[in-house]
Amino acid sequence: MIKPVGSDELQPRYVYDPDAHHALTHEAESLPSIIVSSQAAANAVMMGSGYFNPLQGYMNVADSVSCAETMQMTSGAFFPVPVMCLVENTDAIGDAKRIALRDPNVEGNPVLAVMDIEAVETVSDEQMQTMTAKVYGTDDPEHPGVAAFNSQGRVALSGPIQVLNFSYFMTDFPDTFRTAVEIRNEISERGWKKIVAFQTRNPMHLAHEELCHMAMDRLGCDGLVIHMLLGQLKPGDIPAPVRDAAIRKMVELYFPPNSAMVTGYGYDMLYAGPREGVLHAYFRQNMGATHFIIGRDHAGVGDYYGAFDAQTIFDEIPEGALEIEIFKADHTAWSKKLNKVVMMCEAPDHEKDDFVLLSGTKVREMLGQGIAPPKEFSRPEVAKILIDYYQSIN
């Protein structure tokens, strides 16, 4: 199986030993504690899950800025984005060196992790501007990722963590949330050798489904891991339980047995386009995928990024940083001429009107009115699940 990034074996930060977990949970209740941001909590979940291997904890400011500028920490270790714990102030913890991090997304703010603080630093406006511009490609406050990153505070806590739980992901999505450790184990149990991963924060329409089939066929893959984001999204995005139901129905009906896993991970969407594409590839290698699909406007929002920036950025990463291979895909759509889904770049004799193309706005309007999109756009069984959701909120 493909090795994790930066180590021979995964080094998840979750405390698996029951006795150690019990002792740490007991200790945490007596430690000074602070409620962290949703982004910092998601970073803890990703480190606990092994997805951010081999990170041991939150980066200091020097490493964070270096990652933003060069995709490498000051040590030279590769990581495509800063992984920070930013807070408004340290009033709640004073000068404590060992603290409990409390979850902002679960009622009662239970302890998520215990942290040994190595540094408490104030991030300058210039450093925040540098990180924002490099990671998100813009400093526009209307960009949802920029807004979330810059709303956390300016005090950076850094140091190793020990993770005690996986926030709300394990309880809210028990059938879908999986750690990198668990996915590696399941890949091994299924006997898959060549695995392609597909990222989604949306339900999968026919074009997405066919793109996965194309990638599997062209790469000669044993299996597909559909890996959906389960964390915080922007307003208007479809909730994870609805996406989950729609994707599971599609796999049940249109994929052969033992060819596709439906899983999810606990992280908030950054909407960082190219940089997030690299991050997505990074943690898919850690979960055991040998290949990763990156299509048009991957992880983008609005008009901030070029259509294929998330593919070309892989030409800029340090040599040997990642072993996972990228399956570069164009926009896929139903061809009226060929009577099947094709990559648009592979149909040079087509005009725009030769494809079945529907905007997201148009699809949402149709679903809200109880109208299924055409069968060339969406499977009817998937459309029904989405119609039921949209009609429930109207």
pLDDT value of residue 118: 98
Helices (H) and strands (E) in the chain, counts: 13, 15
364 pLDDT tier (thresholds 50, 70, 90): confident
Q: What is the pLDDT of residues 243-302, one digit of tens each?
A: 999 999 999 999 999 999 999 999 999 999 999 999 999 999 999 999 999 999 999 999
Mean pLDDT rounded to a whole number for the chain: 95
48 pLDDT tier (thresholds 50, 70, 90): very high
pLDDT value of residue 177: 96
Angle at 108 between CA 16 and CA 230, to 5 degrees: 60
Residue 159, both tokens: 């140091």
User: Region 344-356: what's the mean pLDDT?
Assistant: 93
pLDDT value of residue 393: 85
Strand partners, 100: 33, 114
CA distances from 306 to 81, 268, 270, 338, 352 (A): 19, 22, 17, 28, 19
Q: Give the C-alpha separation, 374 to 360, whole Å.
A: 14
Give me the catalytic one of 98, 154, 202, 364: 202
pLDDT value of residue 360: 79
pLDDT value of residue 282: 98
Q: Give the C-alpha separation, 170 to 157, whole Å.
A: 26
Q: Give the C-alpha separation, 192 to 18, whole Å.
A: 31
pLDDT at 235 over 80: no
pLDDT value of residue 335: 95
Q: How would you class 225 by CB atoms within 10 Å of its CB: exposed for 0-12, middle for 13-18, buried for 19 or more?
A: buried
pLDDT at 236 over 80: no
Q: Give the C-alpha separation, 314 to 47, whole Å.
A: 23
Q: Give the C-alpha separation, 214 to 341, whole Å.
A: 10
Give me the catalytic one of 154, 201, 248, 364: 201
Residue pair 210/80 in contact by the 8 Å Cβ criterion: no
Query: What percent of the chain is modeled with pLDDT above 90?
Result: 91
| Pick from 267, 307, 92: nearest CA to 180 | 267
pLDDT value of residue 199: 96
pLDDT value of residue 95: 96
Regarding the domain delimited by 18-170, which CATH topology (the fold level of the hierarchy) does it fall under?
Sulfate adenylyltransferase (3.10.400)
User: Region 116-139: what's the mean pLDDT?
Assistant: 98
| Pick from 315, 287, 271, 78: nearest CA to 198 | 287
pLDDT value of residue 394: 74
Angle at 54 between CA 37 and CA 260, to 5 degrees: 85
Cα-Cα end-to-end distance for the chain = 47
358 pLDDT tier (thresholds 50, 70, 90): confident
- Please tell me the total number of residues recorded for the chain in this structure: 394
Q: What is the pLDDT of residues 305-339, one digit of tens each?
A: 999 999 999 999 999 999 999 999 999 999 999 99
The SS3 of residue 227 is strand
Strand partners, 262: 226
User: Region 143-157: what's the mean pLDDT?
Assistant: 96
| Pick from 255, 195, 250: nearest CA to 383 | 250
The ranges assigned to domains in the chain are: 18-170, 175-393
Q: What is the pLDDT of residues 52-111, one digit of tens each?
A: 999 999 999 999 999 999 999 999 999 999 999 999 999 999 999 999 999 999 999 999
pLDDT value of residue 233: 72
User: Which residue did the predictor score with more confidence, 214 or 240?
Assistant: 214
> What contacts 188, CB < 8 A, 6 or more positions away?
1, 288
| Pick from 182, 198, 200, 178: nearest CA to 190 | 182
* DSSP tag of 224: E
Q: What are phi and psi of 384, to 5 degrees?
A: -60, -45
The verdict on domain 175-393 having CATH code 3.40.50.150 is: no
pLDDT value of residue 202: 86
pLDDT value of residue 211: 96
| Pick from 171, 193, 205, 184: nearest CA to 372 | 205
Task: Reply yes or no on whether 201 is catalytic.
Answer: yes
Q: What is the pLDDT of residues 153-168, one digit of tens each?
A: 999 999 999 999 999 9
pLDDT at 46 over 80: yes
